[in-house]
Structure 1
């Protein structure tokens, strides 16, 4: 495809994206300005009140609700775990990929990318982050995978035909950047001067080019196309493209590897990144993965008559916030405009200190003299405007009810008095906003899918990769090369096998941590012998000042076997063995007590049945005696 055809297709695709996203972007920008910049008074109302000299107070309560949701997610980071799927996959390679993903997240500050995307999703309805590659060293040719934040979500235009909860089905995407002509020439043309008056640029309209010569838009245009290829199964379990097998035929034959079965046609995807302006294609790069590496984090995702509608946490809270501002402004205005309570006295009572009496409502005087036998009296204050204050309270309650976060979730005093009731109300708040954190987990899951697809292609050569364990311990692992493990020669080939992943996340970590501390405390009370082993974990989950330092000191006192287990190299220890024996005896004793209780219950049931039969027998005997006395029923026999 020629550059002119590419530019024509790009302009048409971009116009379609702009048209489909126009309503969502307008609402998102209004949400951002309303909730974060405090632009909460209608412009005409503000201008009219300012002309009249009347106040326009903005008491913005929305950032507290936004921070509650975002900070819950910050305290409980979703984690990615990779699992083998097919027979060719290796559990050890899956563990290496899990550790490599953790290393990628740590090295590229992925938590910043996740937090930024979630904050925009809560505030505007959608946020984004991206996956990319970077050179591992300045003096080498090896690359690393990185996760990068997108600080401005309005620079991303997603696929208008997408319906997935993530970007897995995106076939097109634009990431735009606005540059000055000088910055553009410095980055893309070097010393060569751009002729901005040429026909190629003269035919462009906004937003590709500002006619005043102030800005020029540079866009990354990502496209994904279906590609049909043939693959061949090999005798060593690998599946390779047919052309790769033909190229490496001699190498495979020397290794004793032969094709198995006939080739099969498969459908894959080819992703291309083009960096362009409206007038020329600047770069064209083939992306090694099969997904467009831009990942959205959605807020509320709705489909209304075929149109995708993205909503934020604050969308329905705007009117209550406006009412709160209005009524607080009204109450302040009424109190401020109320006349100062005057002093009342008989004629001539204020002649001696007339100046002091004139400023008595504005200045502080040590004393004021008056004339006459009786002192002047101040008139009582009319009182605060109770109706306006009540309406402000009603608006504040409406805010909490609409968003779903009440006083207990925000850390304020509420009607709950017991700790259990407070935790229950906090959990209700976590549940009412959990869909935002769950959408972040979905986005991170797709990012993990992108990483699993990229890792075998980026880390394809023999090298030593740094991986992180679940607790953050680092290790170097040789991949794509022979290595001796426990005396056995093996190769950790990241390109062999199929792998899937899970993302674990839960409701607010603050609540879970408190519950964990309570459960650990109860467990230690039930089994005091485990206190030396669990003491550091219990201290880590407490909210004391210095709890982390206490946990580190208790961890230093752990038996060697427990420390070894944490490091992945457990060693037998007599104290731990004794502790395990005590716990085993306790469990056996518990089972014996349960069996004894069951036997006692069964015995009591048998005894009760005997008593019931005896009572029935006595009843029948009494009936028999009565019928004999009356001369009937002589044939009745007692069982």
Structure 2
């Protein structure tokens, strides 16, 4: 057996003291809780609605056992509230409040919470607590963490039902109605002895010694061991920093290996003299929760709870403190006397009728003498004639047998039953028409309004349940970033029950990022990908629950299935008056329907609706703008074409003018050369050479110079010059 430390002894001592404090505070309320719960569940077998002394007296009456009937109308009044809560479930709605939180990230948070509720079957936990609240005065549910599966280190969050309300004790000094400020709490659980010894073999010898147990129960009954889960919540001093980017940081969240660097930077100013990291700082506190498992007088297990709240949620019916005495009650308490009266008057009426005579005929003995066999079986055999003696032996007339008056119910008993039933309705605020009995109302709206009047009398039970569910949302928002602290893929659930995957990445710099085929996209890119069948399956969402701050609301309303039916009915009525609406909203109508094939019909109708109405095409305003741009572009093209045509015409006219100018110049030059040739033929030769050279692209002056040089050399060396210079001259030529 492990050695007990001084710290362990102090924790056990504190647990004993606190348990005694809670036990003293709640003892009276717990006793009445049991009485109210038993009364609410009373029937003809358990006789919980009858005082035991009365049952004994009536059963052992010397004149014969007297009836103890139980007509449990209280149960129906309670179920009216409970089933109304089931139909109008409180949902956890999450709103972004700062530090980078966005609407999209809040919706993903909601989806994660909704999936936790679905996987945990949280509806059963809420309904069990609500039943205990309405019938007995209060109830609980718990929030736990457990491994996702046997082969994983990933933790998941679970909402667990508490079947025995009296197995939990919470801090009596709670001020908040939902119990969010509780500093400690106990959860007692009976574990089979064999299982306990298999899980904690080193502690099996401590069972039964100095036990921490409630209501005088023994710690070890031979088959089970009572385990106490003990939570402690304490404030721890910390320091809060306001960073220059607007975010905040607790010193306790900084890794130890970075503290020295952080301290060296926090007071360092920038070039402008302003701080580069810390804008302000102050002392603060944070909450730390410890969990211990206590068996006997020893701590057999312990761990740090990741959240900042005691993970026990309570839901209370009505709570009062009068003269320093706590009392909690549900809907049953006010109905008990009226229900007892109804049972009494019903039993008395049955007893009165049973004691009346059951003889069908009254006859003189002489009248049936000799015919006893007929009259003894008259109530069993359907005789056509019942003979009797109408004359005596001396001729005297004998009156015939007469039917006896049937048993008559006393009006006092009937009136008493009616009065008791009326007082039950007066005490509950729920009348027959409000509980579904026929009344003068004929329209559905009128009937619902009448039923709502009864709901107003009991609405505080549903409202208190909603407050507790809102506190559950606060616990989950606090836990999710701490439990989902590694990269993983988890499910999120939409309001209609559809599931999608989301990748949790605690290192992401923003709260949420949308990806398509591995690439980040904006909202427009996401819409385009969702409309594209080839990209629809490649859309991914990355979520970081550590970024941002969020608040929780709890809205009460009909379940999604009920609202879906209401939507189908409303759309059907609208389509009756406006058939054209089917062309733009027919798919929504059939999506709200529940019959087989409705989704397929909705998908087919959706294919016939223009993309801009579905939000997948160009919006009307943008389409109108694009049309105007196209018209303007066409107009500009027409103007450009006309301008080009005008420029071409002007160019042609200009070219025509140039040709005329050139022709005129040529004619003038020709006339000049004619006059020059006529007056001086030798002076005209250079002009002729120039004209010929320009036409052939040759430099005739050079060729002529080379020709003149060749002629001079040929005179001196005829053979050499012909072999050396003639090819060059030929090339020039």
Q: TM range, normalised to the smaller chain?
A: 0.7 to 0.9
Query: Aligned-pair distance for 1:528?
Result: 3.8
Distance 1:550-1:74 versus aligned 2 partners, 3 A rule: farther
SS in 2 for 1:380: coil
- From 226, 232, 242, give the equivalent of 1:223: 232
Q: Where do residues 33-52 of structure 1 align in structure 2 (5 Å cutoff)?
A: 33-38=38-43, 39-52=48-61
Partner of 1:492: 543
**Residue 126 of structure 1, CA deviation:** 0.6
2-structure distance, mates of 1:565, 1:146: 43
Q: Kindly indicate whether the alpha-carbon contact (under 8 Å) linking 1:88 and 1:237 is maintained by their aligned counterparts in 2.
A: no
Summarize deviations over 1:550-582 as a string: whole Å, max 9, x none: 85565345424889999xx953499xx8xxx9x
Question: Is residue 2:272 matched to residue 1:247?
Answer: no
1:232 and 1:464 mapped to 2: Cα distance?
Answer: 32
Within-5 A mapping of 1:55-74? 55-74=67-86
* Pair member with larger Rg: 2
The aligned length equals 566
1:73 is paired with a residue whose SS is helix
Q: Which residue of 2 aligns with 1:76?
A: 88
| Mean CA deviation greater in 8-17 or 521-530 | 521-530
What's 1:311 paired with?
329
Cα separation, partners in 2 of 1:385 and 1:517, compared to 1, 3 Å:
farther
Q: Mind listing any 5+ residue stretches in structure 2 that lack a counterpart?
A: 1-5, 267-275, 391-398, 522-540, 625-733
Which of these residues, 390, 395, 414, is aligned with residue 389 of structure 1?
Answer: 414
SS in 2 for 1:141: coil
**CA distance in 1 between partners of 2:610 and 2:321 (Å):** 53
CA distance in 1, matches of 2:260, 2:615: 43
Match of 1:432 among 444, 457, 475: 457
Cα pair 2:211 2:297 within 8 Å, conserved: no
Q: CA RMSD in A?
A: 3.7
Map 1:87-106 onto structure 2 (within 5 A): 87-106=99-118
Does residue 370 of the first structure (1) align with residue 395 of the second (2)? no
Cα 1:203/1:512, change in 2 over 3 Å: closer
Q: Name the CA distance, whole Å, in 1 between partners of 2:214 and 2:26.
A: 19
TM alignment of 1:177-576, pairs within 5 A: 177-179=189-191, 181-189=193-201, 193-194=204-205, 200-201=209-210, 207=216, 209-210=218-219, 216-234=225-243, 238-242=247-251, 244-245=253-254, 247=256, 249=258, 259-361=277-379, 363-367=380-384, 369-373=386-390, 376-417=401-442, 419-480=444-505, 481=507, 485=515, 487-488=519-520, 492-506=543-557, 520=571, 523-524=574-575, 527-531=578-582, 548-549=595-596, 552=599, 555-560=602-607, 570-572=615-617
**Is residue 147 from structure 1 mapped to residue 159 from structure 2 by the alignment?**
yes
Query: What is the aligned partner in structure 1 of residue 37 from structure 2?
Result: 32
Asked if the contact 2:87/2:558 (under 8 Å) is kept, the reply is no
Deviation at 1:119, TM superposition (A): 0.9
CA offset digits 1:201-241 (Å, max 9, x no partner): 49999746358756543111111101111243456665443
CA offsets 1:333-365 (integer angstroms, 9 cap, x no match): 11111111441334422234313423545x344
Residue 170 in 1 paired to residue 182 in 2? yes
Q: Note if contact 2:368-2:389 (Cα within 8 Å) is conserved in structure 1.
A: no
C-alpha distance in 1 between matches for 2:57 and 2:225: 38
Higher relative contact order (CA 8 A, sep 6+): 1
Q: Normalization by structure 1: what TM-score?
A: 0.79
TM-score (norm 2): 0.70
Contact persistence 1:540–1:548 (CA under 8 A): no
Q: Are the structure 2 counterparts of residues 269 and 135 from structure 1 closer, same or farther at C-alpha, using a change threshold of 3 Å?
A: same
Q: Name the CA shift for 1:463/1:234 in 2 (closer, same or farther; >3 Å).
A: farther
Shift of 1:101: 0.4
Give the drift of 1:470.
Answer: 2.3
Q: Contact 1:231–1:241 (CA<8 Å) still a contact in 2?
A: yes
Cα distance in 2 for partners of 1:233, 1:494 equals: 20
Q: Distance in 2 between matches of 1:202 and 1:477?
A: 47
Q: How far apart, CA to CA, are the structure 1 residues paired with 2:559 and 2:492?
A: 28
CA contact (8 A) 1:73 1:508 kept: no
The alignment partner of 1:5 has SS state of helix
Partners of 2:313 and 2:336 in 1: how far apart? 28
Compared CA separation, residues 564 and 238, structure 1 to 2 (3 A): farther
Kept after mapping to 2: 8 A contact 1:226/1:269: yes
